[in-house]
Amino acid sequence: MTGSSAAANARRIGVYVCHCGGNISDYVDVDRVIAAVEHEPGVVVARQAMFACSDATQGDIERDIRELELDGLVVASCSPKLHVTTFRGVARRAGLNPYEYSQVNIREQASWIHTADAEGTTEKAIALVRGGIAKTGLTEPLEPIVVETTQKALVVGGGIAGMRAAIGLADLGLGVFLVERAAALGGHVRGIGAMYPNGRDGGRLIDELAASIKARPSISVFTGAEVIEKSGSFGKFSVGLRVGGPGSETLTVEVGSIVVTTGFETYEPEVGEYGYGIDGVVTLPEFKAMLDASAGPLRHAGRPVHDVAYVYCVGSRETPTKPDGNAYCSRYCCAATAFASIQLGEADPGVRQYHLHRDVRTFGKYELLYERSRDLGSIYLKFPDAEPPEVALEPDGRLLVTVRDLLTGGERVAIPADLVVLVTAMVPRSNTELTGLLKLPIGRDGFYNEIHPKLRPVETTVDGVYIAGACQGPRNSSESVASALAAVTQSAVILKKGYAELDPLVATVDAVACDGCGKCLDACPYGAIELSAGVATISETACKGCGGCVPLCPTDAIDLRGYTNDQITALIDGLVGEAVA
């Protein structure tokens, strides 16, 4: 038997099997695939191509669609992750509804993984293509979901990234709600004095941003405020805020997009970690505060500071000695430490500074800071990954840092110091409540995850919710601001038109078949399903089309557009069925 139905027989489907250079055809006998499927029900034309994605082949497919009046398209090539949009475009240009096209993956799912079995991989490819044809026989034309969008945005987190994002959004003509948990805007930057690379004062930067915000009436600032509720979806969120701590005022704002800029926390060393807890062992932020507060030579505990030792990567790149520790580089700290040492070296030319590092990552133009700090006499020592420095208290009250210097032939040296500065990492802020409310995806490092680090760097898997700044991972303030402005742009992309188009491949409920059991509600990771009047309803805009709810429905009341139950059944039948010819 075959998976075809009477409807499928009436279809006019074109099938294109790709060689992918040799990626497919070296293992899959493409001629046999064509021969096996060209007489499947509904197939009007079956061709092969060296590269189906090439401009020439795309043109050929478009011509076939027009000339042969195709109403279905199957491309058997690589993963849909690569070329779904390519071939949807082919269909659209030729006047075919893009959702009448199916992608069949015979590269990742056949040729690449069965390289030792040419016969088997060819048979598998044939089965996959048959399944695809059977599924395509049941496609229906679909149109994108059009959503009207609210011309307002919510920014969560009022540090330098959130403040800059709010200004950017306001300047695009959008209304902005800026929510900050602390009593004042400014985050970490507000407390930093001179900042690298050029010594601008962090507090003054924040003052300037705050003045800009004040000058824009379209920005409403809520400090001492938290997000406590979120409903709605992309383009039309309804967000509950609590302002002024528990028991105080709550309000709801309507926004089209949400920009999350909740920042980071500073790694807090454990007591005893590199001598932390001993007087004179301080973290980089503590040291920076001492520097910013002092003019001229530094003093600590009533004594002049002559020797400073910096221990880099405290809380960063820990895995060589702590397998479950933080594996990442905190990125901002090498330059920040070099800059702090310049600050001290210029205030006190006689001071001696030792930088104990794994590597120096003063990337880009920050390399100049590294050079300048060396010019001022800073000594850099590289220690072995597996053998970090040790900090001890000397009988005279001074500190002694022992380290193996790889550049001196592995010599172990003991450095007497008045201050030991632990260059502490950026760690993810624990924001369990917000993370849960917004369904923000968290990466292995504990920071929020973007969809694609290169091409979609501020978008999350939740449409309309963007992330920027150090909540995404360690970065310095200029990088945070750059990503904040990227999030502004992405918000503008969906909000400025007044409407947005969404993929129509979402789940739908047959209200008659639904008995209101509610099992699907628990299955939905996006909170897209609600029960109203004893029937489940799925928000088209919140649904991501994952299909997780479909198999759980005891009455088969849920169908996923583009992957309907009938289509999947047909696909399976095609996959396991015998050849027709």
Partner 1 sequence: MTATTIPGAVVPAATPATRVDGGLLADIRRFGAADVNACFSCGVCTATCPLVTNDGTFPRRMIRYAQLGLRDKLLSSRELWTCYACGQCSEQCPQQAEPGEFMAATRRWAVASYDRTSLARTLATRPLAGSVIAVLLAVILAAFMYTAHGPMGGSSLELFGFIPSDLIHNLGIAVMAIVLVTGGAGLAAMVLALRRSVVVPPARPGRAVLAAAWRAIAVEALGQQRYRGECETETRPWYRQRWFVHAATMWGFLGLLGATLLDYGLELLGIKATGTPVPIWYPVRLLGTVAGLALLYGSTLLILRRARAEERSLRHSTVGDWMFLVLLWLAGATGFVLELALYLPGAPAWGYAVFLVHVAVALELVLLVPFSKFAHAIYRPVALFFLALATSSAEPAGEGSR
Considering the complex, state which of residue 317 and residue 404 has its C-beta at the smaller distance from partner 1.
404
Nearer to partner 1, 233 or 373 (CB): 373
The identity of residue 298, as a single letter, is L
CB of 364 vs partner 1, minimal distance in Å: 17
- DSSP H helices, 137-261, are 160-171, 202-214
Are the C-beta atoms of 333 and 284 separated by less than 8 Å? yes
- The answer for residues whose C-beta is within 8 angstroms of residue 149's C-beta and 6 or more apart is 234, 235, 236, 256, 257, 494, 495, 497, 498, 499, 500
Q: How far is the CB of 415 from partner 1 (least distance, A)?
A: 5
Closest CA to 479 of 345, 354, 360, 330: 330
Phi, psi values for residue 242, rounded to 5°: -115, 125
**Beta bridge pairs of residue 282:** 421
Given the complex with partner 1, which of 184 and 414 has the nearer CB atom?
A: 414
CA distance 196 to 193: 10
Residue type, 185: L
DSSP 45: E
Under the rule (CB under 8 A), what is the footprint of partner 1? 306-307, 352, 354, 374-375, 377, 379-381, 384, 386-387, 402, 404-416
Nearer to partner 1, 246 or 395 (CB): 395
Q: Based on C-alpha coordinates, what's the Rg of the chain? A: 30
Min separation Cβ 389 and partner 1, Å: 10
Long-range contacts of 28-32 (CB under 8 A, 24+ apart): 28/106, 28/110, 28/111, 28/118, 28/121, 28/122, 28/125, 29/118, 29/122, 32/122, 32/126
Minimum gap (Å) between residue 416 Cβ and partner 1: 7
Identify the CA nearest to 128 among candidates 7, 28, 14: 28
Query: d(Cα 478, Cα 401) in Å, to the nearest integer?
Result: 33
Element housing 491 (H / E): helix 477-495
Q: Which is nearer to partner 1, 93 or 372 (CB)?
A: 372
Select 327 or 379, whichever has its Cβ closest to partner 1: 379
Are the C-beta atoms of residues 223 and 180 closer than 8 Å to each other? yes
Q: Please identify, using beta-carbon distances, which residue of 107 and 317 lies nearer to partner 1.
A: 317
Minimum distance of partner 1 from residue 170's CB (angstroms): 46
Identify which of residues 63 and 412 has a Cβ nearer to partner 1 in the complex: 412
Whether 481 and 160 have beta carbons less than 8 Å apart is answered as yes
Alpha carbons 76 and 304: distance in angstroms, whole number: 74
Closest CB 402 distance from partner 1, rounded Å: 5
CB of 353 to partner 1, least distance (A): 10
By C-beta, is 124 or 361 nearer to partner 1?
Answer: 361
Residue 300 CB, nearest approach to partner 1 (Å):
16
- Please state the closest distance from residue 36 (CB atom) to partner 1, in A: 59
